[in-house]
Amino acid sequence: MYKFSATLISLFLVGVSFLANAQEFSPLYKKYKDKYPNAHFIRLLDEIKIDVSLNNNDLEISQQVREDNLYMSAGATFGSKKAIHYSSFFEVDDVKAASLIYEGGKYKEIPVTDFVQKDDMNTSFYDDSKTINFIYPRLQEGAKTSLSYSQKIKNPRFLNALFFGLNAPIAKSKFTLSVDNDIELELKEFNLEGVAIHFSKTQKKGRTIYKWETEEVAAYDMDSGAPSFRTIVPHIIPILTSYKIKKETKQLSGSVGDLYNWYYSLVEDVNTASSSPELVALVDQLTKDKKTDLEKVKAIYYWTQENVKYIAFEYALGGFVPREANDVFRKKYGDCKDNSSILSEMLKIAKLKGNLTWIGTRSIPYTYTEVPTPAVDNHMILSYIEGDNVYYLDATGRYTPIDMPSSFIQGKEALIGIDKNEFVVKKVPVVEATRNRVSDAISISIKDKKLVGKGKFKTKGYPKTDLFHALEKMTKQKDLKEFYTYQLRKGSNRFLIDDFKEAYKFEYEKDFEVDYTFNIENYVQGYENEVYVNLNLNRDLSRLKEDDKRKSGKQFNYKRFNEITTILEIPDTMVLDYIPESFEISNDFFDCKITYTQKENKVIYKLIAHQNFIELTLEEQKALNKMIKKIEKNYKEVVILKKK
């Protein structure tokens, strides 16, 4: 029999008591645990109060923010770290935060006392973004947090959007916007269909007060590769269009013209000094043998891509104002605006005209007419116009040919500056799939159970650019051989590259080629006098299939055209006994064709796939899944050879 001391028994009882208390949950927790059993946390209250006033003939904008959360899982501690972002455009003050722990039938408040200010570097080399950091004490399952702070918005063009949804359920949202009647306002609504929002608009003492309230909004799940949350989550963007002072109307953001006027005011004094002699000499050297203007632009553009390193460097309006071309040339680095600045100046030296261009990446779904504020774009490039052709020059990357835009601005509107008073809005084209071609042609023969062969891989467009980015840091043959063994893998994981030779590596305008030899051990299957060979060696299309439980559509970087050819040499000791039927499937955005033909002592397999999409809705993705499953079924087809 085991004997326990009184001390051990006491400690045991204390431990049991502690565990019992640790499992105490509030009725509020139980309510939401039943309602949202898989939620990590619930936003109990999401409240923003915005005040826009005229004071001493100037606009003053203040914002009060309140966030109350309830934590629903044992991983609550992962939410204990919190950061509030601010910058020269958004001042933060009066921060109050606390944890509320449920004990003894009530919540006990534990205030946060330690707030630490840090520079928020993110991916930038330097900017003026900062954070106020703190930790919620004793955060645990069933606990609540409370956070409130005030903001001063220094530029009226930077009013934040009001979002009626999160990646977590929201018990209640309350947004209030109070505006002096001498201030004109537009409210742009996005994705509000089917959302129960109680809205009111009232007048009080020379002010207009807008209120929105929602309750019990489920979480918005964002699958991997989903389009921007801005395309899914319901939100409103308030835009201050103008205001009156002493009967005079001051324009802010009522039109695209208003936005362009402000943008132009930020760039009109850039590059007014003379170009440095070194920069002039470089341009002369780059263009001296070029016969056409476009060839000169191309030489300058490619030099900039290769020699000016992209580093984000933003401070206050530095996020909008390009730096001087002479400085960018001297330092050999800069952000998107700086690259556009040096490109513009180099074209000017060559007696050509480039146009500073503002554009949003594909993560921003708005047009310039919908949202004529800085919320509509986040990138700057240079446009070169020649007749009816517009060339969108983005030197922040490398290996992009002059007649292809960056993949992440395809289909977007570009605000192209002509001069102080003139601009145009153009839509960047989406590059056709055939320009993003990947082809792989191989010839194979059978040696016992092994396949041996040689192939030629060719690619152009965005797939080539992606490949170059992966290759640029590889210098050793061993590393390259391993890379191509993985990149060109076919048949099985026993695929090995024996030798390879590259052609036109890092060329901007030629197709990249790799000639290679390979073998695949134990690939050929046989039974008695028959041999089975599956010629579907490349099954890359399976990557397009998504989980059937997916809840959102998907974005892709670019359209793509695949062409795969496999030529099987029939051994002299064998004859062709069976060849699969050809297969074809297609709809409006995807088609695939697999053909088998015999020519003399060879079987020729060809797969052509046309991915004519850069974004799929959820329904389109489901339709594509069904098509890929049919293709995968066809992947199982084999050629049968019989011994003579």
User: Which CATH number does the domain 435-643 belong to among 3.40.140.10, 2.60.120.1130, 2.60.40.1730, 3.40.50.1370?
Assistant: 2.60.120.1130
User: What are the residues whose beta carbons fall under 8 Å from the beta carbon of 215, sequence distance 6 or more?
Assistant: 171, 172, 173, 196
Whether pLDDT at 7 is above 50: no
At residue 391, does pLDDT exceed 80?
yes
In this prediction, residue 56 has a pLDDT band, given cuts at 50, 70 and 90, of confident
- Strand ranges in 104-234 using DSSP code E only, listed in sequence order: 106-111, 116-119, 130-135, 144-153, 162-163, 170-180, 183-190, 198-204, 207-217
Taking only the tens place, the pLDDT of each residue in 252-311 is 999 999 999 999 999 999 999 999 999 999 999 999 999 999 999 999 999 999 999 988
Helix (H, G, I), strand (E, B) or coil at 537: coil
Query: Which of residues 528 and 371 earns the better pLDDT score?
Result: 371
Q: Is the dihedral of CA 510, 516, 522, 524 positive or negative?
A: positive
Residue with tokens 């029999």: 1
Rounded Cα gap, residues 561 and 305, in angstroms: 26
pLDDT for residue 527: 83
639/269 Cα distance (integer angstroms): 70
Listed in sequence order, the DSSP H helices in 405-556 are 462-471, 477-487
Give the start-to-end residue ranges of the domains of the chain: 27-251, 257-427, 435-643
Q: Which residues contact 175 (CB under 8 A, 6 or more apart)?
A: 47, 48, 49, 50, 162, 211, 212, 213, 236
Q: Is 517 helix (H, G, I), strand (E, B) or coil?
A: strand
Whole-number percent of the chain with pLDDT over 70: 94
Q: Which residues pair with 468 in a beta bridge?
A: none
- Whether the per-residue pLDDT at 126 is higher than 50: the answer is no
Q: Nearest to residue 640, comparing CAs of 527, 509, 474?
A: 527
pLDDT digits over 418-435, tens only?
999 999 999 999 999 999
How many CB atoms neighbour CB 349 within 10 A? 19
Q: Is the pTM of this model over 0.85?
A: yes
Phi, psi (5° rounding) for residue 220?
-100, 110
- Helices 277-287, 336-349: axis angle to 10 degrees equals 70
The residue to which tokens 């002072």 are assigned: 245
**Fold agreement between 27-251 and 435-643:** no
Bridge partners for 93 per DSSP:
150
| Segment 127-132 mean pLDDT | 76
The pLDDT, as a whole number, for residue 57 is 83
Each residue of 482-495: pLDDT tens digit?
999 999 999 999 99
Evaluate whether 313 touches 324 at the Cβ level (below 8 Å): no
Q: How confident is residue 315, by pLDDT bands cut at 50, 70 and 90?
A: low
What is the end-to-end Cα distance of the chain in Å, rounded?
Answer: 83
At 128 the pLDDT is: 61
**pLDDT tens readout for residues 318-353:** 568 899 999 999 999 989 999 999 999 999 999 999
User: Which class does domain 27-251 fall in?
Assistant: mainly beta
Per-residue pLDDT tens over the stretch 217-230: 999 988 999 999 99
Give the Cα separation of 280 and 291 in Å (integer): 19
pLDDT tens digits, residue range 594-629?
999 999 999 999 999 999 999 999 999 999 999 999
Measured N-to-C along each axis, helices 293-307 and 336-349 cross at an angle, to the nearest 10 degrees, of 140
Strand partners, 116: 133
User: Is 565 in contact with 440 (CB distance < 8 Å)?
Assistant: yes
Q: In sequence order, what are the residues at sequence separation of 6 or more whose Cβ sits closer than 8 angstroms to the Cβ of residue 415?
A: 256, 259, 260, 263, 357, 358, 359, 368, 377, 423, 425
Q: Determine if residue 452 is left, alpha or beta; phi over 0 gives left, psi from -120 to 50 gives alpha, anything else beta.
A: beta
Q: Report the pLDDT value the prediction gives residue 120, as an integer from 0 to 100.
A: 61
For 148-197, the pLDDT digits (tens) are 999 999 999 999 999 999 999 999 999 999 999 999 999 999 999 988 99
Mean pLDDT of 430-448: 97
Closest CA to 535 of 484, 579, 499: 579
Q: Output the CA angle 152-155-160, nearest 5 degrees.
A: 70
Architecture of domain 257-427: Roll (3.10)
19: pLDDT confidence band, cut at 50, 70 and 90?
very low
pLDDT mean across residues, the chain: 92
Q: What is the mean pLDDT of residues 427-448?
A: 97
Q: What strands, in cross-sheet order, belong to the sheet with 530-533?
A: 525-527, 530-533, 639-643, 574-578
What is the reported pLDDT for 644? 86
Q: For position 313, what pLDDT does the model report?
A: 63
